[in-house]
């Protein structure tokens, strides 16, 4: 099927919440990349949503949903 990696390092485990947050952003971006593989078009679309208030909020919603899963996977980084 699709040949790009959808989960960097094939793991949801991170050392810290900060790294977990970065992973959430990457997971969200990789789905966009999978759905629109053309780098040039993605660049144009990034320019669109980076300048549209509603789309920026929607990006935040998607990242928040990804992060919820990552945080649970890491037991909220509690020792």
Element (H, E) at 68: helix 53-73
Is 27 an interacting residue with respect to a copy of itself (CB under 8 A)? yes
Is 57 an interacting residue with respect to a copy of itself (CB under 8 A)? yes
- The nearest distance, CB 77 to a copy of itself, in angstroms, is 7
Report the residue number, 39 or 76, with the smaller CB distance to a copy of itself: 76
Q: What SS3 state is found at 79?
A: coil
Is 3 an interacting residue with respect to a copy of itself (CB under 8 A)? no
- Note the residues at the interface with a copy of itself (CB under 8 A): 1-2, 5-7, 10-12, 16-18, 20-22, 25, 27-28, 31-32, 34-36, 41, 45-46, 48-69, 71-73, 76-78
């Amino acid at each position: 099927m699709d040949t790009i990696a959808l989960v960097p390092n094939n793991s949801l485990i991170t050392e810290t919440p900060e790294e977990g947050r970065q992973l959430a952003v990457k997971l969200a971006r990789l789905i966009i990349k999978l759905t629109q593989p053309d780098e040039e078009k993605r660049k144009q679309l990034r320019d669109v949503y980076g300048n549209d208030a509603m789309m920026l909020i929607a990006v935040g919603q998607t990242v928040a949903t990804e992060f919820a899963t990552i945080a649970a996977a890491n037991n909220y980084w509690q020792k």
